[in-house]
A and B are shown apart, each in its own frame.
Chain A
Amino acid sequence: MNIEEYISSGILEAYALNELSAEEMREVEAVMAKYPEVKAELNAIEKAFEDMAMATQVAPKPEMKKAILDKIDEQTAPSAEQPTTRQDTPKVVSLPASRGWKYAVAASLVLALVSGYLAIDYRSKWKSSSQAYAQLLASNSQMAEQYNQVNQKLDQLETDFGILSNPNFRRIGMAGTDNAKEAYADVYWNETTEELYLNIVNLQELAADKQYQLWAIVDGQPVDAGVFDWNAEGLVKMKRIAQSAAFAVTVEPKGGSESPSLETMQVLGNVKKS
């Protein structure tokens, strides 16, 4: 089971708000028993609900407290006076000695035969339906997984869209160098919060042991802004950058380098003075 996807499906929020069916609740509890991180996440969600309630209190009228405590007194007082029901000594019921026992033996034999037959019959029915059930479960979990993937993708798109439509983010286009004339990539940069995202428009495929690395140019010196794969999708979050005169991308060994291999530079874009 992919725990991250399970958590991000929002099922724990629904659990905390008591919105799941009894069966779904048992399922969540089984997962929690197996994965402590799921339990911890639920606790964090519940803590948030609690903190929100604490932050938005509305004080009751002062006389409420006494009213409630009095009501509890009222409720408990009479039952305290009632004598506690004493447990009677168990009665021993003696069976009347009759000849009926022969019939009883015969009846139980018949019963045993009938139930034996039924047991075999039910067992075969149960076997086939449990198989069908297992198949259903499998296809159900497959669907849930696909659904989660789509949901995550949507979340990602929503986040991306939020960045694209946020006026505090500047787009800096980086055009291809002589190494790769067709190459193009953008960075989205929020100078105030220092957040930086990268969007690949067109970069060539790299060997498995290579990665692209983004550099910010600060006072003429390249500063590492993080690495990314050639096939990264959507907006890729890069390192925070406070200031930069230009951004550039080079090809580096997987994991990145301390200083850029300038001869491999793919794209370059200057930050226009705002």
Chain B
Amino acid sequence: MEESELVLRLKDRDKNAMAYLYDKYSAALLGVASRIIKDDDISEEVLQDVFMKIWNKIDQYDASRGRFFTWMMNLTRNAAIDKLRSKEISRSSKTDSMDDYVYRVDSRNSTEMHTDGIGVRALLNDLVEEQKFILEKVYFEGFTHTEIAEEYDIPLGTVKSRLRSALKHMRKKLA
């Protein structure tokens, strides 16, 4: 189904479209949520909320402002970050580093998943260290540019340019 048709059917309150949406995107969105929250059960709670939000707020999606997935991804990121705050799980107090968690998720992927997900580590393996760090923090852990700049004492412009370089690399790789 074309993205535009899917959106149209969702706006038309078509439950079959919702099932289709779930099959296509639930695993990608759960990936987004679980890398921010780092707890499988809470992440699935968030995923459930996110699908309800997609269903209830679909009229707010405006195709002229970006892709449908981006909209869903940002809903998911916001919901995950809100959940983190409400549970008062401070991200910095967590002892397990991204790397540990990524290992865990990756190994879970390989046993439980029937998707073609290759895992964060494999995806980022050929990035230079500074770029990998920024991409992990911004994209996978949901930090804002400003948070990284302040917390890790990196100039904001550098955060932006490293993110851009990292993303350019990913675009080439995933093209």
Taking beta carbons and an 8 Å cutoff, which residues of A are in contact with B?
A: 8-10, 13-19, 29, 42-61, 64-65, 67-69, 71-73, 75-76, 147, 150-151, 154-155, 158, 162
Contact = CB atoms under 8 A, between A and B. Distances in A.
Nearest to B130: A158
Contacts of B18: 68-69, 72
Contacts of A9: 160
Contacts of A55: 116-119, 123, 174
B164 A56 contact: no
Interface of B: 13, 15, 18-19, 22-23, 26-32, 34-35, 43-44, 47-48, 51-52, 55-56, 64-67, 69-70, 73-74, 77-78, 105, 108-109, 112-120, 123, 128, 138-140, 144-145, 157-158, 160-161, 163-165, 167, 170-171, 174
Given A52-B139, A162-B128, A68 B167 contact: no
A63 B65 CA distance: 34
B167 A59 contact: no
Contact of A19 (B70, B113, B114, B145): B145
A43 B30 CA distance: 22
Interface of B is mostly: helix
B67 A59 contact: no
Contacts of A151: 157, 160-161
22 contacts: A10-B160, A10-B163, A46-B66, A46-B70, A48-B171, A49-B139, A51-B174, A53-B28, A55-B117, A56-B123, A57-B28, A58-B34, A58-B105, A59-B109, A65-B22, A67-B48, A68-B52, A71-B48, A72-B15, A76-B13, A155-B161, A158-B165
